[in-house]
Amino acid sequence: MSDRIPLLEVRNLKKHFISGILKKRKVLTAVDGIDFVIYKGETFGLVGESGCGKTTIGRTIIRLYNPTDGEILFDGEEIGHLSERELKPYRKRMQMIFQDPYASLNSRMTVTDIIAEGIDTHHLLEGDAKQERIYELLEKVGLKREHASRYPHEFSGGQRQRIGIARALAVNPELIICDEPISALDVSIQAQVVNMLEDLQDEFGLTYLFIAHDLSMVRHISDRIGVMYLGKMMEITTADELYENALHPYTKSLLSAIPIPDPTSSIRDRRVILKGDVGSPINPKPGCRFASRCQYAKPNCFTETPELREIKEGHFASCHYIEEINGI
């Protein structure tokens, strides 16, 4: 494990969205002090409920948003505060596949134009060589040469997601941020796209940040997983450890809520049904973000924010009572 080389390191990353002024000022703490590392060649899964800040993290890493605070280290270089010009070489090394295959492709551009955009921006190839490269990419993602001159609306959701993947691959990136690449797809298509992502990873040695809320698919694809709740990281560990020995009360209830496609499963009887609703990320008070729904919460959980700590080797969690709850 010690020979792993970090490709991306995020330290105390914050992204706040501010609206209103004076007394009406609202601070939406979409991402509120997150730390994690992604090693070269691995897939890091990021899970959590809607609105917990997953997409915002992805967008901040590739600097579609400027971070409010914290550092983003890519291959050892701090890129969170670089100017657009200084960023350009990094833009080639990091790409993102977007959540919605229907909205993320420009409907007035042909497939060739869409894929060529990055190649042109970075002056990678021209003329016939460029067109050849586009054909090659289309074939890589399971589409055909003939598709190159068509428009996005002529494709199904799964095919559009493939176009998005071809676009990301076009500039030979090292890190690809996959933001829910399969959630808009039919079950019967999801496996096609996941297999393809795995094949491409093997072939090109890619590193993935894989954002999702389908927990069984995340387990399948990830080496390590981070679990978020309302802008905070609750737990990070390897995929198997997370599913077999989750330590954090939130992770436990999240895992136990997954509907199991097996009517003989006995998990239902052991299920922890959470009470209450997810809180609001606007002007949050100090304390554990999960406290309002946590069955173990004690008074100080509502006032003191727990830090992410290494509980066992490579297994991090942020909860004041993790040892007590798990009998460690």
Partner 1 sequence: MSKILEVKNLRTTFFTHLGEVQAVRGISFDLDEGGILGIVGESGSGKSVTSLSIMGLVDEPGKIVEGEIFFQGTDLTKLDHKDMMQFRGNEISMIFQDPMTSINPAFTIGNQLREVIMAHSDLNKDQAHERALELLKMVGIPDPESRIKNFPYQFSGGMRQRALIAMAIANNPKLLIADEPTTALDVTIQAQILELMRDLKDKINSSVILITHDLGVISEICDKVIVMYGGMIMEKADIKNLFAHPQHPYTRGLLLSIPTNVTGKKKRLIPIEGSPPDLMDPPSGCPFSPRCPHAMEICLKKAAPLFKISETQEASCWLHHQDAPEVSGMVKVEGEQS
Q: Which residues bind ligand SF4 (CB under 6 A)?
A: 249, 288, 290-291, 294, 296-297, 301, 306, 319-321
Buried b or exposed e, range 226-242, using 16+ CB within 10 angstroms: bbbbbbbbbbbbbbebb
Among 54, 63, 162, 219, binds ligand ATP (CB under 6 A): 54
- For 63, the token pair is 């600097």
Among 195, 245, 295, 300, binds partner 1 (CB under 8 A): 195
Q: Confirm or reject binding of residue 60 to ligand ATP (CB under 6 A).
A: no
Residue 301 contacts which entry, ligand ATP, Mg ion, ligand SF4, none (Cβ below 5-8 A, type-dependent): ligand SF4
Return the amino acid letter for 326. N
String of contacts with ligand ATP for each residue 1-30, x by CB under 6 A:
----------------x----------x-x
Q: Confirm or reject binding of residue 52 to ligand ATP (CB under 6 A).
A: yes
Q: Confirm or reject binding of residue 213 to partner 1 (CB under 8 A).
A: yes
Helical residues (DSSP H) of the chain, grouped into ranges:
54-61, 84-93, 111-121, 127-140, 157-169, 187-204, 215-221, 239-244, 249-256, 267-270, 322-326
Among 268, 285, 298, 309, binds partner 1 (CB under 8 A): 268
Q: How far is the CB of 101 from ligand SF4 (least distance, A)?
A: 27
How far does CA 154 lie from the centroid of its chain?
28
Among 37, 109, 258, 325, binds partner 1 (CB under 8 A): 258
Which residues lie closer than 8 Å to 128 by C-beta, 6 or more apart? none
Q: Confirm or reject binding of residue 40 to ligand ATP (CB under 6 A).
A: no
Q: Candidates 52-60, 71-79, 115-123, 239-247 — which segment interacts with ligand ATP by CB under 6 A?
A: 52-60
| Interatomic CA distance for residues 81 and 207, integer angstroms | 23
Burial-class residue 224 by CB neighbours within 10 Å (0-12, 13-18, 19+): buried
Q: Which is nearer to ligand SF4, 243 or 321 (CB)?
A: 321
| Interatomic CA distance for residues 122 and 133, integer angstroms | 14
C-alpha to C-alpha distances, 101 to 125, 153, 210, nearest whole angstrom: 26, 11, 16
| Interatomic CA distance for residues 107 and 175, integer angstroms | 26
Residue 86 contacts which entry, partner 1, ligand ATP, Mg ion, none (Cβ below 5-8 A, type-dependent): none
Among 55, 95, 222, 318, binds ligand ATP (CB under 6 A): 55
Nearest position to Mg ion, beta carbon: 55
Q: Which is nearer to partner 1, 89 or 205 (CB)?
A: 205
Q: Which is nearer to ligand SF4, 134 or 288 (CB)?
A: 288
Contact 212, 288 (CB under 8 A): no
Buried b or exposed e, range 262-295, using 16+ CB within 10 angstroms: eeeeeeeeeeeebeeebeebeebeebbbbbebbe
C-alpha to C-alpha distances, 189 to 59, 194, 278, nearest whole angstrom: 26, 9, 31
String of contacts with ligand ATP for each residue 230-269, x by CB under 6 A:
----------------------------------------
Q: What is the CA radius of gyration of the chain?
A: 21
Q: How far is the CB of 312 from ligand SF4 (least distance, A)?
A: 17
Q: Which is nearer to ligand ATP, 142 or 284 (CB)?
A: 284
Q: How far is the CB of 269 from partner 1 (least distance, A)?
A: 12
Which residues lie closer than 8 Å to 327 by C-beta, 6 or more apart? none
The residue ranges that bind ligand ATP (CB under 6 A) are 17, 28, 30, 48, 50-56, 213, 281
The residue ranges that bind Mg ion (CB under 5 A) are 55
